[in-house]
Amino acid sequence: MNAFDYRAPRTVDEALAILREYGEDARVIAGGTALVTMLRQRLVRPGCLVSLRDVAGLDRVDATNGALSFGALVTHRQSETSPLVRERIPVLAETFRRVATVRIRHMATLGGALAHADPNQDPPVTLLALGARVQIRGAGGSRELAIDEFFRDYYESALAPGEIVTGVTVPVPAAGSGAAFVKFLPRTADDYATVAVAAIVTSDGDRCRDARIALGSVGVTPLRGRAAEALLSGERMSAGLLEAAGEAVKGEVDPLSDHRGSAAYKRDMAAVMVRRALTQAWEAARRP
List binders of other proteins among 24-43 (CB under 8 A).
32-33, 36-37, 39-41
List binders of other proteins among 51-80 (CB under 8 A).
51, 53, 77
C-alpha span between 71 and 68 (Å, rounded)? 10
Sign for the pseudo-dihedral over CA of 209, 215, 218, 224: positive
Nearest distance in Å: CB 141, other proteins: 30
Of 1 and 84, CB closest to other proteins: 1
| Binding of residue 241 to other proteins (CB under 8 A) | no
Q: Which residues contact 143 (CB under 8 A, 6 or more apart)?
A: 135, 136, 137
Nearest distance in Å: CB 76, other proteins: 12
Total binding residues toward other proteins, as defined by CB under 8 A: 28
Kindly indicate which of the ranges 15-23, 174-182, 186-194, 226-234 contains the residues binding other proteins, using the contact rule CB under 8 A: 186-194
Out of 43, 56, 63, 102, point to the residue binding other proteins (CB under 8 A). 102
Of 175 and 189, CB closest to other proteins: 189
Of 191 and 254, CB closest to other proteins: 191
C-alpha span between 277 and 110 (Å, rounded)? 23
Element (H, E) at 91: helix 90-97
Of 5 and 247, CB closest to other proteins: 5
Length of the chain: 288
Side-chain half-sphere CA neighbours of 29 within 13 A: 24
Please classify residue 86 by burial: count the beta carbons closer than 10 Å to its beta carbon, then call 0-12 exposed, 13-18 middle and 19+ buried: middle
Nearest distance in Å: CB 94, other proteins: 13
Q: What spatial distance separates the first Cα and last Cα of the chain, rounded to whole Å? A: 55
Kindly indicate which of the ranges 83-91, 104-112, 122-130, 162-170 contains the residues binding other proteins, using the contact rule CB under 8 A: 104-112
| Binding of residue 109 to other proteins (CB under 8 A) | no
| Binding of residue 49 to other proteins (CB under 8 A) | yes
Alpha carbon 19 to chain centroid, angstroms: 25
**CA distance to 195, 269, 288, per residue, from 104 (Å):** 20, 27, 36
Of 43 and 146, CB closest to other proteins: 43
C-alpha span between 192 and 103 (Å, rounded)? 15
DSSP lists the bridge partners of residue 157 as 151
C-alpha span between 91 and 200 (Å, rounded)? 9
> Taking CB under 8 A as the rule, which mask of x and - marks residues 6-25 in contact with other proteins?
x-x-----------------
| Binding of residue 175 to other proteins (CB under 8 A) | no
Of 43 and 84, CB closest to other proteins: 43
User: What residue ranges bind other proteins (CB under 8 A)?
Assistant: 1-6, 8, 32-33, 36-37, 39-41, 49, 51, 53, 77, 100-104, 106-107, 188-190
